[in-house]
Amino acid sequence: MNTTQQEIVNKTAQFIEDKFQGEGTGHDWHHIYRVWKSAENIAKTEDCDPYIVSLAALLHDIADHKFYDGDLLEGSRQATKLLTDLGADEDTISKVADIVKRVSFKGAKVKDEMPSIEGKVVQDADRLDAIGAIGIARAFAYGGSKHRLLYDPEENYEMHDTFDAYHKNESSTIAHFYEKLLLLKDRMHTNTAKQVAEQRHRVMEDFLQQFYGEWEGKK
Ligand code: ADP
Ligand code: NI
């Protein structure tokens, strides 16, 4: 990255840090920061443009579809505006905006298409932050914010279209593991992320075994 690019990345980080202050649902600045750093790390092992990776990681949640009534283009619009204001070139803006538009995995039934390697790196980093110890913590933080049960032993975990599930209050947080979190390991694109995901996946499996044991007063 040259110094102008570095400066645009730093200004983007500052803007996002300010914007996400006080977000408590697992979508805070710290999530963005972790995705940014982990995307940078994965990028080192891939043949890709680290400038695009850094900007797309920082901007990937700029406008979450859950808070914009399902308007999937809001994020790329906001990313385009910010990068234009910061003086980024058109090619960069269009690449980053395209990744922002495609980045979130909306559910088991939604086909995910991420053609660019930079987008794959960012998507892997975002998915890694949804699994493992931090993923577990984020899931319960999110569930609490929606007044969900920790667990409902009566529930059956058929795969719903999670775009609808997001807007309903009916499933427990443990259900979210089966609807999404345990599926992410097999959706990683890069080898680096696949390796990290294996280990984080085991952390979730161990957690669930311990959880069910404690639920019955055992363990
Ligand atoms: P991102 O856009 O960062 O990929 P999401 O917006 O899908 O993530 O979700 C933010 C965090 O909240 C993630 O850690 C995710 O696992 C968690 N989350 C999303 N939906 C649910 C749910 N229905 N129950 C529990 N946790 C959820
Ligand atoms: Ni995210």
Q: How many domains does the chain have?
A: 1
The amino acid at residue 25 is T
ipTM over 0.90: yes
Distance CA 78, CA 12 (A): 12
What's the confidence (pLDDT) of residue 168? 58
Distance 170 CA to ligand 2 centre (A): 23
Residue 106 or residue 122, greater confidence: 122
pLDDT, mean of residues 102-119: 74
pLDDT of residue 107 exceeding 50, the answer is no
Verify whether ligand 1 is closer than 6 Å to residue 124 (CB atom): no
**CATH, residue 177:** 1.10.3210.50
Question: In a mutational test of the pocket of ligand 1, which residue from 142, 146, 161 has the highest number of ligand atoms less than 8 Å from its CB?
Answer: 142
- Reported as a single tens digit per residue, the pLDDT across 26-76 is 578 999 999 999 999 999 999 999 999 999 999 999 986 556 666 778 889
Is pTM beyond 0.95? Reply is no
Q: Which domain holds residue 175?
A: 3-215
